Structure 1
Amino acid sequence: MKPIFFCGALLLLTACDSTPAKQAAGDTTAVVKDVQPVENEKPVKEVTGKVKAIVSGKDGYTAKIVSDDGKEYAATVSHANLKDPTQYRTVKEGDRVTVKGDSWMMGQEEQITVRELR
């Protein structure tokens, strides 16, 4: 009885082994991994308007922009978030700018993480 039990246990252990070495050797044993859901991307928005106010921050600034249709946005500008960091410049109240970036809501205010500044 012991040899049969030993052979059964050995067979079970061999069949369950799906180490990377066996996979590389062509073992077709399926490997199931937990997959984390991919976070949805934020919508991209482009806004042109007049700078109403500037709030300085640690890595840049947030410009309150009033668009041509009268809607207000808080556009956060920093070197790290720009696709091309050479686009970084400081704007002042009254300037007309175009920003493009990830759009999201914080409370009742629409935020834009600026990726392009023109």
Structure 2
Amino acid sequence: MRQILDRIADKWSLLVIALLDDRTMRFTELKRMIDGVSQRMLTVTLRQLERDGMVHRTVHPVVPPRVDYALTDLGRSLHTTVQSLVVWTERHQDDIAEARSRYDLNAQATAVTTSTAL
């Protein structure tokens, strides 16, 4: 169970599953839409999701090669849960940013107080 959770809960897998919602995308489209993912990491993520039965890879016999990715039925069933997480994140990103700022300010104040007490 832990291996499955580790796979589907990593940030790149979550983003790939969210983006492939009811559509097929090419590797370059996914790479362009996922900020910060390297080509190697996206390749590894897609291969792992394909191995786990979440993503279907279609290679078209053209030059240059064209490869499309789509969610399988299993991947689509997971997408509903992932989409809920994405919506929650979008809804609360400002709240989290404010909480982080308050925490960081408090941590700085505590560090200054501790260093002056020594």
Name the structure where strand makes up a greater proportion of residues: 1
Please tell me whether Structure 1 or Structure 2 has the larger radius of gyration of its CA atoms: 1
Flag the structure with more relative contact order, 1 or 2, with Cα contacts below 8 A and sequence separation at least 6. 2
TM-score (norm 2): 0.20
Name the structure where helix makes up a greater proportion of residues: 2
TM-score (norm 1): 0.20
